[in-house]
Amino acid sequence: MNDLDLRYFGLLAQKFPTVAAATTEIINLQAILNLPKGSEHFLSDIHGESEAFSHVMRNASGIIRKKIDDVFGDTLSQPEKRKLATLIYYPQEKLKHEASIQVNFEAWLEESIYRMIRVAKNIVSKYTRSKVRKALNPDFQYIIEELLQERHNHFNKQKYYQEIVSTILELDRGREFITALSELIRRLAVDRLHIIGDIYDRGPGAEKIMDELIKHHSVDIQWGNHDMIWMGAAVGSEACMANAIRIALRYGHTNTLEVGYGINLLPLATLALDFYADEENPKFTPKNEAKNAYLGREVRLKRAMHKAITILQFKLEGQAIQRNPDFEMEDRLLLDKINFENYTVTIGDAVYPLNDGNFSTIDPKNPYELSEREAETIAQLRNAFMKSEKLQKHARFLFEKGSMYLTYNSNLLLHGCVPLTKEGDFEAFKYNGEVAKGKSLTFLFDKYVRQAYADKKRPNSHAGRDMMWYLWCGAKSPIFGKDQMTTFERYFINDKLTHKEHKNAYFNLRDDETTCRKILKEFDLDPDTAHIFNGHVPVAVVAGENPLKAGGKLLVIDGGFSKAYQSKTGIAGYTLISNSYGLQLVAHEAFESRKKAIEEEQDIHSSRTILEETGYRIRIKDTDTGVELTQQIEELKTLLNLYREGVVKEHTN
């Protein structure tokens, strides 16, 4: 054993200073390896739908209701089970509601406590007492621990347990106790949460989702392209910032910007009123107002702001393209292709009429140059993004918990795709002399994203920030996965053929098992047992599309959380559960409202499909955590031998 190894085991001895301490930890870890694997919960493409997201988090995609069914079987009616489930999901609101309608509220409280204790016992049964203890509300830690140990046949302690509950109620702590129990149940129902990208845009509450994720005990995030523009905006990318503002105005949801993050849009409003106050192009009407015959003053202002930021976006994107010839996006430079005399645009070899002749902020001689007013506006907006404490907190969390992809328990989690050629080879991307493809491509992008965060206080450092914008819309971006983003054409050209965005070959080839096995090997996973989990592209269930691809090797769980997609998908989102028995896909119908969930006990109606059953109980020893624990056991056994051989001395004082 070399000096470095001895130094390591000397440090390990500080944590386990005696033979007894090392032995106890080995016994503990060896026992943990044989506990059932905890449940993993997978969600993707939430797109700001905070109420639906919050409910799915609270009901754990049906896990909690399944536990209630397991515990009570036919001994409770369906209405009683719904009421109990709602109490677990929304304890404070449900308690307030029931207090107003129950004839004997105290009796209902007592009955509810006993029922929740039974559900909690079922939930915690596969965890160590140490892990359960860490999840307990400190105010009730001892009491809950005692009640969780209660067994119906413990005659000697029956009165003891009854007296605990009676005293809780007598001291008027029943509401707080039920809240603590519900938090314990919800927390331990899911051991690990995976978010496979696109928390932001389209819906009104992305910042609320981020607040909830930050509080979660165990979460990872695979970045989506919509997340990337907000992360980019937070570190000073003006092109990313313009896209984030434009999309908020396009969908008519600026609350996240103005209320959630305190971004003052007044500088943009002032610019818009000076140059686009009379904007008539209906493409700039917010989507949530598009069907209104009468457009009020506020909507007209948002339309003007929408137009102004869109033009700014095209200018800023043009500058990024010109700075980065390796992006190979010269075909996206369209402002200089506009004929301002007859209002046409040349794209490739074709000339198209524009549906709009109002380009008040574009200088035809220098179309990508910001005017003095525009530069001032962008500087003010950038400053607001950079100084928003909440946005910076959320961005920091995304950098800390997020990545381009994740391999976890023999599964590859990535938002969009692994760029492929039509022949099925990994597509190469060259940047600053570095060529990358497949797994190495994700490393290259990850490097520049993190460089942007490190350089966020250096306004003239463009490489990382430009790369974040490229990840939003570049042809080789794994989180975009199309040849181009035709934003200009969708606003200004009526010919829908120009709107076409061709998906990367991955999206055709992912139906092929051979291709999926090749990708899994590239990411160092066993293709016989591993899976790929994607989001990004909504599954058109209503048209007969199946989320399961390549004979079960790949699964797409973007089923339409975003209301904007639900007419296309026919459902309101997929989620995935991986537990100790296998994989389950959960398809959700639309969530009406939090109010109805509480008062009318309306859960999201979900259908569950068992995708894969193992035929045996998956234990912690079969997981990534098990690999780590096994390594720790081997190291502790080595330390034990070193103690016994006298190489390392025990510290018994």
The DSSP secondary structure of 436-457, one letter per residue, reads E-THHHHHHHHHHHHHHHHTTT
One domain for residues 293 and 317? yes
Query: What does the pLDDT look like over 390-409, one tens digit per residue?
Result: 999 999 999 999 999 999 99
- Tell me what pLDDT residue 296 has: 78
The answer to whether residue 464 sits within a structural domain is: yes
The answer to whether residue 151 sits within a structural domain is: yes
Residue 29 has pLDDT above 90, yes or no: yes
Tell me, letter by letter, the H, E, C secondary structure of 268-293.
HHHHHHHHHCCCCCHHHCCHHHCCCC
Cα–Cα distance for residue pair 327/135, rounded to 1 Å: 48
| pLDDT confidence tier of residue 612, bands split at 50, 70 and 90 | confident
- Tell me what pLDDT residue 272 has: 96
Average pLDDT of every residue of the chain: 91
35 Cα distance to chain centroid: 28
Pairing verdict, β 429-431 and 434-436: antiparallel
Assign 3-state DSSP to the chain and report helix, strand, coil percentages, each to 5.
55, 10, 35
- Tell me what pLDDT residue 566 has: 67
One domain for residues 275 and 144? no
- Tell me what pLDDT residue 295 has: 65
Query: What does the pLDDT look like over 300-347, one tens digit per residue?
Result: 899 999 999 999 999 999 999 999 999 999 999 999 999 999 999 999
The answer to whether residue 446 sits within a structural domain is: yes
| pLDDT confidence tier of residue 596, bands split at 50, 70 and 90 | confident
One domain for residues 119 and 9? no
The answer to whether residue 238 sits within a structural domain is: yes
Domain end call among 163, 192, 221: 192
**Do 506 and 418 contact (CB within 8 A), yes or no?**
yes
Query: What does the pLDDT look like over 31-89, one tens digit per residue?
Result: 999 999 999 999 999 999 998 899 889 988 889 999 999 999 999 999 999 999 999 99
| pLDDT confidence tier of residue 6, bands split at 50, 70 and 90 | confident
Beta bridge partners of 353: 344
One domain for residues 27 and 117? no
* The most confident of 371-375, 456-460, 550-554, 562-566, by mean pLDDT: 371-375
What dihedral angle (degrees, nearest 10) is formed by the CA atoms of 18, 23, 25, 27? -170
Provide the terminal-to-terminal Cα distance of the chain, rounded to the nearest Å.
27
Cα–Cα distance for residue pair 204/634, rounded to 1 Å: 50
Run of H or E including 195: strand 192-195
**Do 533 and 42 contact (CB within 8 A), yes or no?**
yes
One domain for residues 185 and 212? no
Residue 504, CA distances (Å) to 117, 216, 279, 374, 425 in order? 51, 34, 36, 35, 12
The answer to whether residue 141 sits within a structural domain is: yes
* Residue of higher predicted confidence among 607 and 303: 303
The answer to whether residue 601 sits within a structural domain is: no
* Residue of higher predicted confidence among 503 and 5: 503
One domain for residues 115 and 17? no
Which residue segment(s) compose the domain that 79 sits in? 59-192
Average pLDDT over residues 460-474: 93
- Tell me what pLDDT residue 458 has: 82
Query: What does the pLDDT look like over 180-229, one tens digit per residue?
Result: 999 999 999 999 999 999 999 988 899 999 999 999 999 999 999 999 99
Taking only Cα atoms into account, the Rg of the chain, rounded to an integer number of angstroms, comes to: 28
Cα–Cα distance for residue pair 345/322, rounded to 1 Å: 19
One domain for residues 367 and 459? yes
- Tell me what pLDDT residue 477 has: 97
* Residue of higher predicted confidence among 600 and 645: 645
The answer to whether residue 384 sits within a structural domain is: yes
> 277 Cβ partners below 8 Å, 6+ apart?
300, 304
Question: How many residues in total does the chain contain?
Answer: 653
One domain for residues 410 and 300? yes
- Tell me what pLDDT residue 292 has: 65
- Tell me what pLDDT residue 155 has: 65
- Tell me what pLDDT residue 527 has: 95
Domain end call among 499, 533, 551: 499
One domain for residues 63 and 175? yes
Sheet holding 350-353, edge to edge: 338-339, 344-347, 350-353
* Residue 424: closest CA among 414, 438, 410: 438
One domain for residues 326 and 279? yes
The answer to whether residue 524 sits within a structural domain is: no
Residue 611 has pLDDT above 80, yes or no: no
* The most confident of 145-149, 255-259, 644-648, by mean pLDDT: 255-259
Query: What does the pLDDT look like over 553-568, one tens digit per residue?
Result: 999 987 667 676 666 6
DSSP secondary structure of 485-518: --HHHHHH---GGGG--PBPTHHHHTT-HHHHHH
Residue 536, CA distances (Å) to 48, 108, 239, 470 in order? 14, 45, 21, 16
Domain end call among 464, 499, 534: 499
**How many domains are contained in the chain?**
3
Residue 571 has pLDDT above 70, yes or no: no
Residue 293 has pLDDT above 60, yes or no: no
One domain for residues 176 and 63? yes
- Tell me what pLDDT residue 606 has: 63
pTM of the model: 0.93
Cα–Cα distance for residue pair 542/536, rounded to 1 Å: 17
* Residue 383: closest CA among 228, 260, 204, 241: 241
- Tell me what pLDDT residue 560 has: 66
| pLDDT confidence tier of residue 5, bands split at 50, 70 and 90 | confident
614 Cα distance to chain centroid: 27
Average pLDDT over residues 631-647: 93
Query: What does the pLDDT look like over 515-564, one tens digit per residue?
Result: 999 999 999 999 999 999 999 887 777 777 788 899 889 999 876 676 76
Classified as helix, coil or strand, 593 is: coil
One domain for residues 110 and 186? yes
- Tell me what pLDDT residue 354 has: 96
- Tell me what pLDDT residue 605 has: 63
- Tell me what pLDDT residue 156 has: 67
Can you say whether the dihedral through the CA atoms of 280, 286, 290, 292 is positive or negative?
negative
Residue 244 has pLDDT above 70, yes or no: yes
Q: Note the helical H segments in 190-296.
A: 206-215, 225-234, 238-251, 255, 266-276
- Tell me what pLDDT residue 609 has: 72
